[in-house]
């Protein structure tokens, strides 16, 4: 009898222990990696804003969605890739092997994303491009790569369409010597030739501290538009020195992404940056989903500025990954990849479906393109003038002093 009672007691203890372990495991956090440039020579201004968006994404998942997999909290693990491919590879490996993340987002520099893409294929954990635009990334057609971003060729087509409609016949482009910059140089020349627009390109070292000689060459060529394909500090330097040599704003300058909206740009160039044109994929006031309406006012309250597209984009990517985890009913990366490839999700702006056509459109969802113009220093993007396209409220006119 005593042996029977003892055996029953042992069984009950084991059952309680197993139940407790299962309960603890059910509340174990699910981690998502954020791999971003937080220090030079990368673009830390973009990196920190991506991080801000990701943090709000996690807050939304935990507070509005109730976590994932029936209540497990969603968390971030963050690594600084410094805008250097080797550092990105190390950071990705650390996120996967040490932090056991279910996916990694935040990639901003194309050169880094290309290197990390190869390791993601090897380790089998999904990688999201948040701001990297090289078509080579998605042309790999790896099952692990996902991109919610405008790719370089469509963006160059948009720029050349704008130039053609404005009647420009001579377009100059100055690009940094990275995959991002050289890709723009190549595609702008190719598309320009097709559209009957002469394109003069100069590629400069990413670490340049004086772009005056190149700018004087461009000035002597008499362009009607100068496209600035710098990233972060070198883009700011190019704008400032273009003003100093009398090129800009006499010749309109178009920034290849939305860095003119950032305080760091104005701190670097002062009033010399006024009248700059810039590309953007979101302007305050555009229709967004309920999650977007939740995020935007919170971002403004916290950071006293409008969210950039990249902060909104990574916010949406966090939500997409959380939905994929729930769709898969699993936090195993291989299951999440399958869910991402087959499911339909909702981010801050609409439906997300990763199609699998061959080529650069593999697992790529592209946002709309706009060109805005600053008409006073430190102007918020919500007050900037929409210049192009007319279908999204563009005036078709470039303002000048």
Q: What is the mean pLDDT of residues 35-57?
A: 96
Name the residue range of residue 374's domain. Answer: 153-280+369-392
Q: Is the pLDDT of residue 155 over 70?
A: yes
26 pLDDT above the threshold of 50: yes
Give residue 22's pLDDT band: very low, low, confident or very high (50, 70, 90): very low
The domain that holds 116 is classified in CATH as 3.40.50.2300
Does 197 reside within a domain? yes
* DSSP string for 56-111: HHHHHHHHTS-SBTTTBPEEEEEEE-TT-HHHHHHHHHHHHHTS--S-EEEE--HH
The average pLDDT across 297-315 equals 96
Is the pLDDT reported for residue 375 higher than 90? Answer: yes
Name every residue whose Cβ is closer than 8 Å to that of residue 65 and which is 6 or more positions away in sequence. Answer: 319, 322
Percent of residues, the chain, with pLDDT higher than 90: 90
157 with 233, same domain: the answer is yes
Q: What's the CA gap between 345 and 343, in Å, rounded?
A: 6
pLDDT digits (tens, 9 = 90+) for 131-145: 999 999 999 999 999
User: Looking at the structure, do residues 275 and 215 belong to the same domain, yes or no?
Assistant: yes
The whole-angstrom separation of Cα 303 and Cα 301 is 6
Q: Mean of the per-residue pLDDT values for the chain? A: 93
**Contact in structure between 147 and 138 (CB atoms under 8 Å):** yes
Within 10 angstroms of residue 18's Cβ, the number of other Cβ atoms is 10
Total-model pTM? 0.86
Does the pLDDT at position 2 exceed 90?
Answer: no
Report if residue 19 sits inside a domain: no
Spell 169-186 as b/e; 16+ CB within 10 A means b.
ebbbbbbbbbbbbbbbbe
Same domain, 383 and 240: yes
Residue 338, class by beta-carbon neighbours within 10 Å (0-12 exposed, 13-18 middle, 19+ buried)? middle
Same domain, 193 and 73: no
pLDDT of 27: 86
Average pLDDT over residues 378-394: 93
Evaluate whether residue 4 is within a structural domain: no
Q: Which of 213, 313, 226, 329 is nearest to 276 (CA)?
A: 226
One domain, residues 298 and 388: no
User: Could you tell me the pLDDT band of residue 281, with boundaries at 50, 70 and 90?
Assistant: very high
What is the average pLDDT across 364-393? 94
Q: Are 271 and 317 in the same domain? A: no
Average pLDDT (102-111) is 97
Q: What percent of the chain has pLDDT over 70?
A: 94
The answer to whether residue 17 sits within a structural domain is: no
Q: Are 32 and 141 part of one and the same domain?
A: yes
- Give the integer Cα–Cα distance in Å for 312 and 300: 12
Residues 263 and 381 grouped into a single domain: yes
Task: Find out whether 177 and 41 touch, Cβ atoms under 8 Å.
Answer: no
User: Residue 147: which pLDDT band, with cuts at 50, 70 and 90?
Assistant: very high
What is the model's pLDDT at position 370? 96
The DSSP 8-state label assigned to residue 259 in this structure reads G
Is 70 exceeded by the pLDDT of residue 377? yes
CA distances from 277 to 58, 156, 169, 280, 383 (A): 33, 15, 18, 10, 13
* pLDDT value for 380: 87
Q: How far is CA 94 from the centre of its chain?
A: 21
The size of the chain, in residues, is 401
Query: Is pLDDT at 11 greater than 50 in this prediction?
Result: no
Sorting pLDDT into bands at 50, 70 and 90, what band is 284?
A: confident
Would 7 be classed as within a structural domain?
no
> What CA–CA distance (Å, rounded) separates 197 from 200?
10
Q: What SS3 state is found at 162? A: helix
* Tokens 């007319």, located at residue: 390
| Residue 305 and residue 267 share a domain | no
- Asked if 202 and 219 count as a contact pair (C-beta separation under 8 A), the reply is no
CB 147 within 8 A of CB 203: no
CB 170 within 8 A of CB 198: yes
- Local confidence band at 283 (pLDDT 50, 70, 90 cut-offs): confident
- Indicate whether 138 and 161 sit together in one domain: no
Residue 8 has pLDDT above 90, yes or no: no
Mean per-residue pLDDT, 362-382: 94
**Residues 257, 356: one domain?**
no
**For 40-45, what is the mean pLDDT?**
93
Reduced to 3 states (helix: H, G, I; strand: E, B; else coil), residue 266 is helix
Number of folded domains that form the chain: 2
Confirm whether 398 is domain-assigned: no
Q: How far is CA 292 from CA 282, 284, 354, 367, 381, in A?
A: 11, 11, 20, 15, 17
Say yes or no to pLDDT of 3 above 60: no
Q: Are residues 211 and 146 in the same domain?
A: no
Statement: residue 20 has pLDDT above 60: no
pLDDT at 389 over 70: yes
The whole-number pLDDT of residue 202 equals: 98
Residue 2 within any structural domain of the chain: no
Query: What integer is the mean pLDDT of 239-261?
Result: 97
Q: What are the tens digits of pLDDT across the range 187-198?
A: 999 999 999 999
Position 12 in a domain: no
Four-CA torsion 107, 112, 113, 116, nearest 10 degrees: -110
pLDDT for residue 331:
98
């Amino acid at each position: 009898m005593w042996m029977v009672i003892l055996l029953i007691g042992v069984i009950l203890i084991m059952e309680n222990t197993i139940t407790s372990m299962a309960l603890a495991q059910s509340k174990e956090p699910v981690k998502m990696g954020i791999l971003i440039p937080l220090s030079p020579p990368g673009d830390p201004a973009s990196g920190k804003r991506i991080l801000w968006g990701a943090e709000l994404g996690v807050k939304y998942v935990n507070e509005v969605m109730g976590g994932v997999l029936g209540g497990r909290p969603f968390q971030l693990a963050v690594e600084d890739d410094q805008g250097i491919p080797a550092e990105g590879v190390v950071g990705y490996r650390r996120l996967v092997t040490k932090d056991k993340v279910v996916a990694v987002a935040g990639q901003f520099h194309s050169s880094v994303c290309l290197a990390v893409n190869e390791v993601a294929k090897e380790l089998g954990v999904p990688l999201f491009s948040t701001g990297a635009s090289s078509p080579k990334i998605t042309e790999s057609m790896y099952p692990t790569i996902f991109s919610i971003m405008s790719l370089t060729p469509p963006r160059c087509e948009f720029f050349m369409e704008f130039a053609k409609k404005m009647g420009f016949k001579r377009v100059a482009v100055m690009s940094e010597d990275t995959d991002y910059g050289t890709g723009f140089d190549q595609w702008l020349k190719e598309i320009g030739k097709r559209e009957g627009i002469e394109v003069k390109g100069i590629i400069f070292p990413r670490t340049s501290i004086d772009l005056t000689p190149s700018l004087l060459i461009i000035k002597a060529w008499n362009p009607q538009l100068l496209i600035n394909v710098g990233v972060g500090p070198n883009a700011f330097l190019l704008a400032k020195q273009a003003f100093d040599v009398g090129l800009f704003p006499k010749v309109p300058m178009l920034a290849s992404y939305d860095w003119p909206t950032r305080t760091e740009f104005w701190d670097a160039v002062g009033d010399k940056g006024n009248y700059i044109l810039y590309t953007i994929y979101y302007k305050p006031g555009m229709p967004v989903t309920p999650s977007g309406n939740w995020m935007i006012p919170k971002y403004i309250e916290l950071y006293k500025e409008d969210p950039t597209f990249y902060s909104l984009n990574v916010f949406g990517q966090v939500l997409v990954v959380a939905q994929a985890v729930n769709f898969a009913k699993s936090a195993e990366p291989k299951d999440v990849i399958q869910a991402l490839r087959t499911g339909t999700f909702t981010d801050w702006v609409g439906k997300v479906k990763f199609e699998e056509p061959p080529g650069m459109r593999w697992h790529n969802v592209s946002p709309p393109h706009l060109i805005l113009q600053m008409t006073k220093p430190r102007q918020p993007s919500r007050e900037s003038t929409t210049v192009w396209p007319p279908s999204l409220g563009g005036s078709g006119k470039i303002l000048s002093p």
